[in-house]
Structure 1
């Protein structure tokens, strides 16, 4: 079977660095931190009192005011990024064959804010639930509602694999198109877990940074003094389209997706395999799927969450997969700026990878102060400042609780 080519023709995002792709990309290039004290709730009793929240986001830019209360924030974020991506793509929705257009979305948790508010109200205020409770909360509803919004009747489902969710969604969309089962997809992911339940839940695992005195430097991947990740929120959406379909309508093409890999650590509920075996395997699978050699990769947007164990395991996996070429790679963790968007991470990091290839700019890993002796300092993590580099292939890693690993490879167009 001859696979079809799949290109990216539209992008959209709302995230801690901005409410558009352009704002996001400018923030990444300039090493801007999205972290700040939490503004939407009282966090005085929390161990962590900061996060990477959305700023100046107005859902009524995308839905009518009376409709806002019907949706969890993670769905509102999905509406925003998908509408941006559709607008950016230039698709004519009147002439598009919507039977061959679908939505494959990623969410690690789904409507956590709705779940928390409704259960709290049930216990403290009223012995009943809102009729919107279930449809607002379930993890698949954002993808379903995006398909309704645009009338896309093709394949529609949600991948739920913790922090790998959006990357798994993109791989599935890629597979459906290249096998000829669809012409295009809206794909990506959204997450909205910055609330009491999210912060307390991750704090109880000792997963979050508690650097409350200096939030902007709290996300410090690969630094010796890292103490956990910083919670982020938002959404990223990409239009994946069959190449000939895109060419026929004269679409703007950002880049091409050429491979995807999936693996499991099969090791621990929340900790990575310390030797990076599953992570190395997933990168190898992605390279094989793309039909390229390790030496072809120029840039890796790493998972790089700023956790003590994960930031040691991933560089080991890169060295295992790439051998001596590992030292010729440009590597960066954009989570140092955006925080960790959980199930949406793969989407915004995919966008970052595509724009890096397009513009020949490697975004930095900010907040590096002290080398960790357990991490090979010969690797180029692009610390603290973006750099220019001509690149053809970029690889993006996302790894999730449960040992879920996903790797996506993009090519410059």
Structure 2
């Protein structure tokens, strides 16, 4: 029996480059980092990040529910609204029992937990928020989206660190293919730009440290790459079986052709130096898609701008795709959006397929010597892209790869 194809019919984003999918795409095409000094980080070893700006989140969420939502939940709710509207769906008219919600995150509401701990210590229990638990637990993005959309099917909150977004999309795809739902609202969200997290990032050795203009510090695949810059945001997609989407007159943005996942089982923060287990995730996604490696027209790389991760991934790309397809790395513009990164980058890969443009890598003139990969630099590159892959690799050794194609 032929398995159903899964279509992306709706797309929503909120990122440091823009407060919706269209403005995010334009910002990424511009290839300019959104990193800036953040006043709330004054005194931290890392006092800059790529943050969402130009929007009053409480006003945008509306109603009387914003008080119980952490920033990461608000991001997810806004992106989900955009995605559902983009898909041309009306939650008031669908069968909510056939709608699932799968939204990943890495750190959830750790920012709110830190804030509430300070309130408790300084002001006592009576000053603590009655929504303290709701502000912190990582299932709340999925829960709040389900509440707003009347989605009573399964809802899940995958956590595989920086690959959580691709994991969520993979799980949602499997649910559609197995018939557990007819519509899946899926993606990921993150917001951990706060002193405790930024201090931990600096202490870990993974962060780029202050050195002049923050917007010049994230340099994926550069010889002088200095470490990652934190980002935040969310991306949500509406997924449906392609035949169902076409039957209701929807035009799919892209199809999810395959996914693959592995675990390095090597080290909590460092990738396996051989890259062989991450390569196995690439190979699994290609097998699932029934593609040969040489059919891949574009790679959206994980590209953290850290010395070890970029070297490992560059070697992997050179081995896995010896025909040298064009490579981009959005973290140069957006920073590392952690648990949301995989979903955001998958969404950008969908837009690359649609617009036939590969965005440039910010702050990169040419890849480091020895990196035999074709990095897109300085300006968007028009490319005939029918098939593309997006890599996500997370702390704990989580590797997740998604293969997307034109309908």
State the TM-score, normalizing by the size of structure 1.
0.95
- Pairwise CA distance, 1:365: 0.9
Cα deviations across residues 317-337 of structure 1 (Å, max 9, x unaligned)?
A: 122323x32x2x011101110
Q: Which one of the candidate residues 380, 389, 405 is aligned to 1:395? A: 389
C-alpha contact 1:220 1:226 (8 A) present in aligned 2? yes
Q: Could you tell which deviates more after superposition, 25-34 or 228-237?
A: 25-34
C-alpha contact 2:37 2:48 (8 A) present in aligned 1? yes
Alignment of 1:3-402 (within 5 A): 3-39=3-39, 41=40, 43-64=41-62, 66-127=64-125, 129-322=128-321, 324-325=322-323, 327=324, 329-369=325-365, 371-376=367-372, 379-402=373-396
Q: How many residues align?
A: 406
| Counterpart Cα distance in 1 of 2:142 and 2:211 | 35
| Counterpart Cα distance in 1 of 2:139 and 2:12 | 20
| Counterpart Cα distance in 2 of 1:181 and 1:132 | 32
Cα deviations across residues 196-253 of structure 1 (Å, max 9, x unaligned)?
A: 1111111110111113411111110011111110100111110011112111211132
Q: Could you tell which deviates more after superposition, 84-93 or 232-241?
A: 84-93
| Counterpart Cα distance in 1 of 2:367 and 2:60 | 44
C-alpha contact 1:50 1:212 (8 A) present in aligned 2? no
C-alpha contact 2:365 2:378 (8 A) present in aligned 1? no
**Aligned with 1:136: secondary structure?**
coil
- Pairwise CA distance, 1:370: 6.1
| Counterpart Cα distance in 2 of 1:62 and 1:183 | 28
**Aligned with 1:137: secondary structure?**
coil
**Aligned with 2:162: secondary structure?**
coil
| Counterpart Cα distance in 2 of 1:362 and 1:289 | 24
Structure 1 residue runs without a partner (length 5+) = none
- Pairwise CA distance, 1:384: 2.3
Cα deviations across residues 320-356 of structure 1 (Å, max 9, x unaligned)?
A: 323x32x2x0111011101110000011111110110
1:184–1:279: structure 2 CA closer, same or farther, 3 Å change rule?
A: same
**Aligned with 2:375: secondary structure?**
coil
C-alpha contact 2:242 2:252 (8 A) present in aligned 1? no
**Aligned with 1:353: secondary structure?**
helix
